[in-house]
């Protein structure tokens, strides 16, 4: 059934890593297979944050050669970044197979959607490589295990930022692996990520249409479609809210999803309101989750909450 | 408004004789002593106990309530339930139960008898399958509120989510605010009063039962049709709302009444052309 959560602070930075860890820990019973975070920190002017992996967690226990392959794949990523005019300003290995890079590019080389796409495609052309996120503020982390484990492994509880979305997954329609875990980066859009609870019934039809327009899918998970769909809509001129309204009309099935950009957090619910969402809104922040118990994990006091209605779309600014 | 010759005496609302099987009473107040459970306990409503549920699991909270009932406490106050799931369930006993805070999913389900107040909000599926008793919620409620309700009064003074009273089989649900889509879906018996606006497909495929709406109706579902409010109903509605300190926005006389069109009755036996008409 999956659990999703989001929090956005208005005009201030806070411990969003700790908050999202607490919220997702409270939703563990909704899905123990994998956990993912999309955390939005202070945008680094002129620098990009790249989160990528070169193998699945389960690959690391298969065969004798995988450790050497991981080293080689990462070296190839480094080589291709340099080839594309990029400089690695800082690198942090999060796990043996997943990494965080801060990149700087030569002026004029990474300043368009086409350039981002070309960069992402070239990196993902490496066997086993997948870009989890690319942007100025977004840090997308996902792995197998519960919130406690993922947050601990990737040291997320110290993360400060303006907003975050997260997901605990119960795999129903695709594999238990990082590729099928949420959030999804809305390739190739900088800083756009999506988490979803539900099932889309017109997934394959829409996927074919979007692939024909040049978009790439990394998994067979229907949730990825929402990220790609929103990216496509925005590429064709819609703003975030317009793209979300269109998704409610066009995507078929039952869903509630959250989408985040560098400074916004949005929520959309299908026209039958079949999937849960509880909202809390104050002058300082907005928090939302599949269950109120997740909001209570960061607000241990009496608060007013409510359910958004069928077909509702909301967007909040940080 | 149609006039009926029968006027219900004050205080005897459970014995009013209105139209249809929907209005039948299954557990009249005069017979309540006949309905007791083997494991129900004698409680004293003047004996009061309270505890802080914040550090407790849902199971521990439920066990604590039962233990306090077994000690004869007729009034139990639970502080800080913290939106935990499945608490206050399966109580087949007379009891005054007070939650100071919010409940999560499936709160107060399968009740038969207690009078429950909740100062906060409730999550999905509150009061599912309640047989008798009263639940009053001061704030909002999630979806599938009062699903398969069989009896008693279920009151939410705020807004309610989608699919409220799905498969309702009896009792009365009152909403002070608005409600989401598909409320009253496959409703079979009982009454639902919504003082605010409703979502789409209100009363979709309802078999019987009555819905009263004070605000705007998003749209009516299949086989849900407007009905005519009678004086007896208006008097009953006023008494019922007064009981919980609620008022119809433009007076009870102006509540819209929705009933089953009954085109879907014996649907399986209809000819294909008749099925098309019914839908």
Read off the CATH number of the domain in which A52 is found.
Answer: 3.30.70.260
Has the ipTM of the complex gone over 0.95? no
Per-residue pLDDT tens digits for B126-178? 999 999 899 999 999 999 999 999 999 999 999 999 999 999 999 999 999 99
Where in chain A does DSSP place strands (E)? 3-9, 34-40, 47-53, 86-93, 98-105, 130-135, 138-144, 163-169, 184-185, 193-200, 253-260, 264-269, 278-281, 285-289, 313-317
Which structural domain range is residue B178 located in?
A: 36-278
Say whether A2 is catalytic. Answer: yes
Any domain includes B143: yes
Q: Do A304 and B121 touch (CB under 8 A)?
A: yes
pLDDT class of B278 with cuts at 50, 70, 90 = low
Using a CB–CB cutoff of 8 Å, tell me whether A273 touches chain B.
yes
Model-level pTM?
0.87
Residue B21 pLDDT: 41
Q: How many domains does chain B have?
A: 1
pLDDT digits (tens, 9 = 90+) for B245-277: 999 999 999 999 999 998 877 767 777 777 666
* Domain assignment of residue B108, yes or no: yes
Judge whether residue B104 has pLDDT over 70: yes
Q: Are residues A99 and A246 in the same domain?
A: no
**pLDDT band at residue B32, thresholds of 50, 70 and 90?**
low
Smallest CA–CA distance, residue B176 to chain A, in Å, is: 14
Q: Looking at per-residue confidence, does A191 or A173 come out higher?
A: A191
| Among A81, A102, A136, residue at a domain's last position | A136
CB contact under 8 A, A293 and B83: yes
Q: What is the mean pLDDT of residues A113-138?
A: 92
Q: Do the domain assignments include residue B102?
A: yes
pLDDT of residue B33: 59
Residue at a domain's end among A72, A105, A136 = A136
What's the average model confidence in pLDDT over B95-123? 95
Domain final position from A107, A136, A165:
A136
Of the partner residues B139, B159, B162, the one whose CB lies closest to the CB of residue A273: B162
State residue B271's pLDDT score. Answer: 75
Test mutation, B53, B56, B80, B83, chain A, max A CBs within 10 A: B83
A291 and A173 together in one domain: yes
What strands lie across the sheet with A138-144, from one edge to the other? Answer: A138-144, A34-40, A163-169, A3-9, A285-289, A278-281
Q: Give the pLDDT confidence score for residue B15 in this predicted structure.
A: 42
Give a yes or no: residue B56 inside a domain.
Answer: yes
Q: Do A278 and B123 touch (CB under 8 A)?
A: yes
Three-class DSSP category at A113: helix
Residue of B nearest to A277 (CA): B142
Average pLDDT, chain A: 92
Nearest-angstrom CA–CA distance, B276 and B279: 5
Looking at the fold, whether A225 and A270 belong to one and the same domain comes out as yes
Residue B30 lies in a domain: no
Indicate the pairing of strand A253-260 with strand A264-269. antiparallel
A263 burial (CB, 10 Å; 0-12 / 13-18 / 19+) is middle
What pLDDT is recorded for position A301? 81
Residue A142 domain flag? no
Q: What mean pLDDT do residues B37-56 have?
A: 91
Q: What pairs with residue A279 in β-bridges?
A: A288, A306
A269 to chain B: closest CA residue: B162
Same domain? A171 vs A234:
yes
Whether the per-residue pLDDT at B241 is higher than 80: the answer is: yes
| Rounded mean pLDDT, A83-93 | 92
A248 part of contact set with chain B, CB < 8 Å: no
- Which residue out of A2, A27, A131, A132 is catalytically annotated? A2
Segment A204-217 shows an average pLDDT of 91
Return the percentage of chain B with pLDDT > 70, whole number.
85
Asked if residue A258 and residue A184 are part of one domain, the reply reads yes
A161 and A191 in a single domain? The answer is yes
Picking from A151, A182, A141, the residue whose alpha carbon sits closest to that of residue A33 is A182
pLDDT band, very low/low/confident/very high, at B98 (cuts 50, 70, 90): very high
* Containing structural domain, residue A167: 1-35+151-318
Look at residue B4 in the predicted model and tell me its pLDDT.
Answer: 40
Whether A160 and A286 share a structural domain:
yes
**Mean pLDDT confidence for B13-38:** 50
pLDDT at A60: 87
Q: How confident is the model at residue B25 (pLDDT cuts 50, 70, 90)?
A: very low
**Domain co-membership, A28 together with A82:** no
Q: What is the CATH number of the domain that holds B175?
A: 2.160.20.60
Q: Provide the greatest CA pair distance for chain A.
A: 55
Residue B260 lies in a domain: yes
| Average pLDDT in chain B | 87
Does position B12 have pLDDT exceeding 70, yes or no?
no
> Helices (H), strands (E): how many in chain A?
8, 15
Peptide bond into A188 cis (omega under 30): yes
Asked if residue A170 and residue A122 are part of one domain, the reply reads no
Whole-number pLDDT of residue B20? 41
pLDDT at position A42 over 90: no
Does the structure show a pLDDT above 90 at A59?
no
Per-residue pLDDT, B263: 81
Per the document, the length of chain A is 318
With respect to residue B2, please indicate whether it lies within any of the assigned structural domains: no
User: Sign of the CA dihedral A74, A79, A84, A90?
Assistant: positive
pLDDT above 90 for A226: yes
Q: Domain check: are A215 and A277 in the same one?
A: yes
pLDDT band at A265 (very low <50, low <70, confident <90, very high): very high
* A109, A245: one domain: no
> Is residue A11 within 8 Å of residue A318, measured between CB atoms?
yes
Same domain, A193 and A294: yes
């Amino acid at each position: 059934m999956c659990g999703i959560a989001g929090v956005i602070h208005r005009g201030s930075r806070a411990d969003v890593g700790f908050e999202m860890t607490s919220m997702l820990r409270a939703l563990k019973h909704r899905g123990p297979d994998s956990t993912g975070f999309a955390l939005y920190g202070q945008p680094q002017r002129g620098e990009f944050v790249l989160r990528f992996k070169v193998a699945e967690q389960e690959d690391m226990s298969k065969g004798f050669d995988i450790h050497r392959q991981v080293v080689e794949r990462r070296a190839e990523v480094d080589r291709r970044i340099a080839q594309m005019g990029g400089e690695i300003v800082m690198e942090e290995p999060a796990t043996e197979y997943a990494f965080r890079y801060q990149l700087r590019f030569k002026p004029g080389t990474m300043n368009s959607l086409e350039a981002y796409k070309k960069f992402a495609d070239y990196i993902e052309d490496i066997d086993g490589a997948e870009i989890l996120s690319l942007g100025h503020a977004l840090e997308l982390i996902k792995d197998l295990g519960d919130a406690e484990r993922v947050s601990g492994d990737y040291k997320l509880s110290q993360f400060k930022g303006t907003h975050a979305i997260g997901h605990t997954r119960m795999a129903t329609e695709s594999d238990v692996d990082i590729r099928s875990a949420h959030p999804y980066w809305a390739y190739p859009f900088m800083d756009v990520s999506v988490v979803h609870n539900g099932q889309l019934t017109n997934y394959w039809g829409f996927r074919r249409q979007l692939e024909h327009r040049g978009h790439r899918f990394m998994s067979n998970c229907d949730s990825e479609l929402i990220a790609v769909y929103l990216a496509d809509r925005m590429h064709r001129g819609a703003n975030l809210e317009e793209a979300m309204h269109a998704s409610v009309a066009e995507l078929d099935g039952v869903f509630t999803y959250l989408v985040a950009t560098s400074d916004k957090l949005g929520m959309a619910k299908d026209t039958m309101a079949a999937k849960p969402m509880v909202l809390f809104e104050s002058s300082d922040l907005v928090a939302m989750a599949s269950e109120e118990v997740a909001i209570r994990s960061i607000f241990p006091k009496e608060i007013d909450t409510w359910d958004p209605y069928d077909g509702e779309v909301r967007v909040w600014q940080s | 408004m149609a006039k009926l010759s029968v006027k219900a005496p004050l205080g005897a609302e459970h014995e009013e004789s209105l139209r249809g099987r929907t209005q039948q009473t299954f557990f009249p107040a005069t017979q309540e002593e006949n309905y007791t459970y083997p494991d129900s306990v004698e409680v004293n409503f003047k004996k009061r106990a309270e505890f802080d549920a914040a550090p407790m699991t849902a199971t521990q909270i439920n066990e604590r309530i039962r233990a306090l009932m077994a000690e004869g406490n007729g009034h139990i106050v639970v502080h800080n339930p913290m939106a935990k799931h499945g608490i206050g369930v399966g109580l087949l006993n007379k009891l005054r139960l007070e939650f100071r805070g919010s409940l999560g999913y499936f709160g107060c389900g399968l009740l038969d008898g207690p009078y429950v107040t909740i100062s906060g909000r409730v999550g999905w599926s509150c009061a599912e399958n309640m047989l008798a008793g009263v639940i009053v919620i001061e704030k909002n409620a999630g979806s599938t509120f009062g699903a398969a309700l069989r009896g008693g009064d279920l009151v939410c003074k705020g807004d309610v989510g989608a699919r409220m009273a799905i498969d309702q089989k009896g009792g009365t649900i009152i909403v002070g605010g608005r409600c989401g889509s598909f409320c009253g879906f496959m409703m079979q018996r009982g009454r639902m009063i919504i003082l605010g606006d409703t979502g789409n497909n209100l009363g979709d495929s309802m078999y019987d039962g009555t819905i009263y709406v004070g605000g705007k109706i998003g749209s009516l579902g299949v086989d849900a049709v407007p009905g005519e409010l009678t004086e007896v109903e208006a008097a009953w509605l006023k008494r019922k709302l007064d009981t919980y300190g609620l008022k119809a926005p433009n007076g009870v006389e102006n509540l819209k009444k929705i009933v089953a069109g009954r085109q879907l009755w014996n649907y399986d036996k209809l000819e294909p052309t008749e099925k098309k008409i019914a839908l």
